[in-house]
Structure 1
Amino acid sequence: MSQQTVLVIDDERDIRELLTITLGRMDLKVDAVGTVAEARQALSERSYDLCFTDMRLPDGSGQEIIELIATEHDETPVAMITAYGNVDAAVTALKAGAFDFVSKPVDIQMLRRLVRTALKLAEEKRTGGGASPAASSSGERLIGDSSAMQQVRNTITKLARNQAPVYIAGESGVGKELVARLIHELGPRASGPFVPVNCGAIPSELMESEFFGHRKGSFTGAVADKEGLFQAAHGGTLFLDEVAELPLHMQVKLLRAIQEKAVRPIGAREEIAVDVRILSATHKNLAALVDQGQFRQDLFYRINVIELRVPPLRERRGDVPLLADFVLRQLATKSGGGVPVRLLPDARQALEDYDFPGNVRELENILERAVAMCDGDRIEASDLMLPQRPARQMAEAVASTHSGHHAQTTYAPSHAPNGTPATQTPSSELPLDDYISNLERSAIMKALEESRYNKTAAARKLGITFRALRYKLKKLGID
């Protein structure tokens, strides 16, 4: 196997020498030049496995080099060398197609890890490889033949080839974490950890410890050293789900960790270098939150280098039958590997006509409920128990929330405090799932009371099977 070659472009002799020595010790052959003209000449004479370029050069900019390589040598990963803290230059480079960036002064260990990752990526590009076995299983779960989903899959493949931060936008339930996993599994970090974290589920006072770790004795209750999420994701990917929920004070600390590729555990004297790719997601409109002063513009700029929108289910209705069949097969496997329950034509049509404000997650819940409530191995439209409120209105309400109205669209309880039926109108208290559960609970309790808690009679009153009622009682926690 021939020796791999690296092109280094920097007008500072010290940087050229540092990289030449460091990369030489990794058994790499290095060509080092100091100008754009020399770089163009070198690239025209031979191909390289990796390129490093400074941003500012005597006769031009590193941006020219990145664009040249992206156009004429797209199999060569290129990393930008930036001045300390120059995040704008790094973001610009990543948007132009750079694989990653390294800040001055250069951290040797970080540099070596970046080189190994880049060379692995270059080799996969040449051989056409890169997808791990896990990736194929994720690919199977990313169901859909619609043009929208084909575009998403194509974009994922491209995003997996570099280390740029990706912001995954989409409504609740569309599968943003699944998309993040696939980006990770198809890339050169597939053998490293994938660490998902729900930013809205961590108490504000514990966030710094959770993200960066702490040292024993650094605060009351710190009885041992603890590794943070950044350290846990070292060499892999950190997925920040619901990133819009981060409080402002934590946004500042997160920005610094991302820019400097280092974290300081609580109670530690020194920072720890971390090699982590950042993927983030939220169902909220981050740009609108920036305008409202609720999300830092500099952090938004840093994590939103590339945006990938995952379409809601109502925009790809043709995928609903495929998704439904896949979910039913999963449910059959989960219950013991029997023959999957099948959808009758009226049920299939009802699903295709429904707008799914809760997207794929709602489809899964509807089918799980229908499997429990249907007679035999066939699901009729009535077994789906789709909400009576026009589905399109729900979808519009959810879309409105996503486009800038950040309070969740919610619904009033089905009974007023005195027990009398209440007008079912939107409120600010209950989300859709709770609204539906309250309706079901009220109907079941009324039937049980009228039948003096004879479950068989109550099921008859409700027009459902005894098995379906038993499932409902368990799910709703009714004793």
Structure 2
Amino acid sequence: MDQTASPNVLVVDDDPVQRRLLKAAVEHMGGNAFMAEDGDIALEFLTTTRDPIAIVVLDLKMPRMDGLEVMRRMTQSGIEVPVIVQTGHGGIETVVEAMRAGAFDFVVKPVAPERLAVSIRNALKVDQSEERHAGFRMDPGTGMVSASPAMERVMHLAQRAAASLIPVVIEGESGVGKEKIARTIQRASDRRHKPFVTVNCGAIPDKLVESVLFGHERGAFTGATEKHRGKFMEANGGTLFLDEIGDLSPDIQVKLLRAVQDGEIETVGARQSAKVDVRLISATNKNLIEEVKAGRFREDLYYRLNVFPITVPPLRNRKEDVPMLVRSFADRFGREHGLRGPVSISPEVLAMLTAYDWPGNVRQLENAVFRAVVLCDDGLLTPDLFPQIAAQLPGYDVREAGAGQRVAVSDAPSLSMPDVPLQRGFAESQQRVVSGLSLGDLGATAKTGSAARGMINAIGDDGELRTLNEVEEEVIRFALQFYSGQMSEVARRLGIGRSTLYRKIKDYGIDAGKTFEIEA
């Protein structure tokens, strides 16, 4: 039987409603669904059936025998079938355990049929050398890989935006792939064969921004020995992507407003304005409406640009994408690096990379995999090839080695992290938490001065509640020490803007350059 065309899928779930839904999803994609209501039945079926099972869709939370135990017994029995685990009640620790046990992928209940189909197709393709990622939701021109519902919504919005010339603003943290989204819009639009010109507004000196964007005539200013067309003219008839648009100065914002509003640009040194036909897509890692309120971004320009906003979630909030991204990057870099065979990824690596919070988002993950592939000698990615990541996660002891050397990883049974529900977001799972203390404990701790590291006392030395200002100052001091004075990271973690953070530091008289010592 051609498993790729008509795969046999074993669905293991104690909930009869879920079994029916999953059965319908499997059959909708052209597969054959076999059902098991618990782990014992599933294991017996796998060891006795004459029908070769291509994929197991396994619920992690079941009575008598949970999904992790089913996977362990499958390994003991030598049953090598890709497993897609589904969870609705567990958290990041449960998912990490499943990935460590060898799960190919995971989905979060309630899983959409399209999402399950993508995961099944990927599992069927993973051992093939050609088109290994044909099942991914991937744009062929940009390499966008998505599996999470959040990114599916982003891609849907991108397709809708491509159907018109509506101005688009793509918002999201650095490294989430805003330019890839812009290219996806361009390639799906009527302008796919026209120029796509990118400008990083934050990387151009203020004195050169006008010339770079709108061009200049020869002799327009000192050093202008040649005529320069400018990015708007280069993109004429096509698409102009303005990255970090929130960094533009007020003077340039005025000129940009005219270009957007009237379709005209003023070349530096020219006597007349010029007409341009440009599809404008902007991107920013700032909250533009907050920039408008603070007076740093023109309100009229904001409403001209922000007609069709698309918000790209950070990678820590869409961990379903991590296994797919890792496999996609490893496959691409393996080919580019000239490796003879496909790059394999150990279950421990998938568990570790899924657990990590990725402050640098997809760009950081891509660079980490690139480094690992370059250092890999035998085609297998192992945790020792990711020392910077392992060093930031509990349960791993990886030290940088010399070229060609392997370093052992500590054998921890599981990552020491709280079991946070997936629906609340993966970022919470990496936070340091202190639990089990009552208000009385807090008061006693405050009086004895024996606060634990990371513990903020609500009770002062006098036994009374402290003021909000006192608590806020202590939180800011701790955050500055905890994140080594990295202002952007401190502001992001505290949920405030950098300007607000600087103001509070000044108000509280905090020396931001000092390393704050917190008593243990």
Report the equivalent of 2:379.
377
The 5 Å alignment of 1:360-399 reads 360-385=362-387, 386=389, 388-389=391-392, 392-393=430-431, 397=489
The number of equivalent residue pairs is: 279
The answer to whether the Cα contact below 8 Å between 1:248 and 1:294 also exists between their aligned partners in 2 is yes
State the Cα distance separating 1:190 from its structure 2 match.
Answer: 1.1
In the alignment, what sits opposite 2:49? none
Q: Which residue is 1:220 aligned to?
A: 222
Q: 1:400 aligns with which of 492, 495, 511?
A: 492
Q: Which stretches of structure 1, 4 residues or more, deviate above 6 A after TM superposition? A: 422-426
- Give the drift of 1:274: 0.2
CA distance in 1, matches of 2:489, 2:302: 26
Q: Would you say the 8 A contact 1:284–1:403 is kept in 2? A: no
Give the direction of change, closer, same or farther, for the CA distance of 1:252–1:401 in structure 2 (3 Å limit): farther
**Secondary structure at 1:154's aligned position in 2?**
helix
Q: Is 1:150 aligned to residue 152 of structure 2?
A: yes
Q: Distance in 1 between matches of 2:323 and 2:190?
A: 34
3-state SS of the aligned residue for 2:320?
helix
Matches within 5 A, 1:419-438: none
Is residue 193 of structure 1 aligned with residue 184 of structure 2?
no
> Displacement, 1:423?
6.3
Contact 1:342 1:378 in 2 (8 A): yes
Aligned to 2:141: 138
For 1:379 and 1:408, locate their aligned partners in 2 and report how far apart those are by CA, in whole Å. 43
TM-score norm. by structure 1 comes to 0.54
- Separation of aligned partners in 2, 1:143 and 1:424: 42
Alignment of structure 1 residues 183-262 onto 2, 5 Å: 183-262=185-264
2:196 and 2:156 mapped to 1: Cα distance? 21
Structure 1 match to 2:355: 353
> How far 1:232 moved relative to its partner?
0.6
Cα pair distance change 1:227/1:299, threshold 3 Å: same
Separation of aligned partners in 1, 2:140 and 2:288: 31
SS in structure 1 of the partner of residue 202 of structure 2 = helix
In the other structure, the counterpart of 1:172 is: 174
Amino acid at match of 1:280: S
Q: Residue 289 of structure 2 aligns with which residue?
A: 287
Counterpart CA distance in 1 for 2:247 and 2:192 is 28
Q: Any idea what SS the aligned residue of 2:498 has?
A: coil
- Give, in whole Å, the separation in 2 of the partners of 1:358 and 1:399: 15
Taking the aligned partners of 1:166 and 1:187, their CA distance within structure 2 comes to 13
TM-aligned CA distance change 1:404 to 1:244, over 3 Å: farther
Identical positions, percent: 43
Partner deviation per Cα, 1:340-383 (whole Å, 9 max, x = no partner): 33211111101111111111101011112222444522222232
CA 1:425–1:185 in 2, change beyond 3 Å: closer, same or farther?
farther
CA distance 1:257–1:308, shift in 2 (3 Å): same
Checking the alignment, whether the CA contact within 8 Å between 1:343 and 1:379 is kept in structure 2 is yes
**Do 1:401 and 1:407's aligned partners in 2 also have CA atoms closer than 8 Å?**
no
The corresponding residue for 1:338 is 340
| Contact 1:173–1:360 (Cα < 8 Å) also in 2 | yes
Paired residue type of 2:370: E
Work out the CA distance in 2 between the residues paired with 1:356 and 1:340: 25
The structural deviation recorded for 1:152 is 1.3
Shift of 1:424: 9.4
Shift in alpha-carbon separation, 1:165–1:399, aligned structure 2, 3 A: farther
Query: What do residues 275-320 of structure 1 show as CA deviations (whole Å, max 9, x unaligned)?
Result: 0011000111111111111111111111101100111111211111
Deviation for aligned residue 1:408 = 12
Alpha-carbon distance in 2 for matches of 1:250, 1:227: 17
SS in 1 for 2:223: coil
* Contact map agreement 2:383 2:390 (CA 8 A) in 1: no
Q: Which runs of 5+ in 1 are unaligned?
A: 1-134, 410-421, 427-479
The answer for the alignment partner of 1:450 in structure 2 is none
For 2:336 and 2:167, the matched residues in 1 are separated by 35
Distance 1:237 1:258 in 2: 13
Q: CA deviation at 1:150?
A: 1.4
How far has the Cα of 1:401 moved from its partner? 6.4
Tell me if 1:273 matches 2:275. Answer: yes
CA displacement at 1:214 relative to structure 2: 1.1
Secondary structure at the aligned position of 2:226 is classed as coil
SS of 1:300's partner is helix
* CA pair 306-404 structure 1, distance change in 2 beyond 3 A: farther
SS of aligned partner of 1:368:
helix
Q: Could you say what secondary structure the match of 1:167 adopts? A: strand
Distance in 1 of aligned mates of 2:494 and 2:173: 7
Change (3 A) 1:191 1:334: same
Give the direction of change, closer, same or farther, for the CA distance of 1:152–1:172 in structure 2 (3 Å limit): same
TM-score by length of 2: 0.50
| Structure richer in helix, relative to its length | 1
Q: Give the letter aligned to residue 341 of structure 1.
A: V
Between the aligned partners of 1:367 and 1:424, the Cα distance in structure 2 is: 34
Residues 253 and 298 of structure 2 are in contact (CA less than 8 Å); yes or no, is this contact kept in structure 1? Answer: yes
- Give the deviation of 1:162 after TM superposition: 0.9
Q: Name 1:123's counterpart in structure 2.
A: none
Structure 2 unaligned regions, length at least 5: 1-137, 394-426, 432-482, 502-513
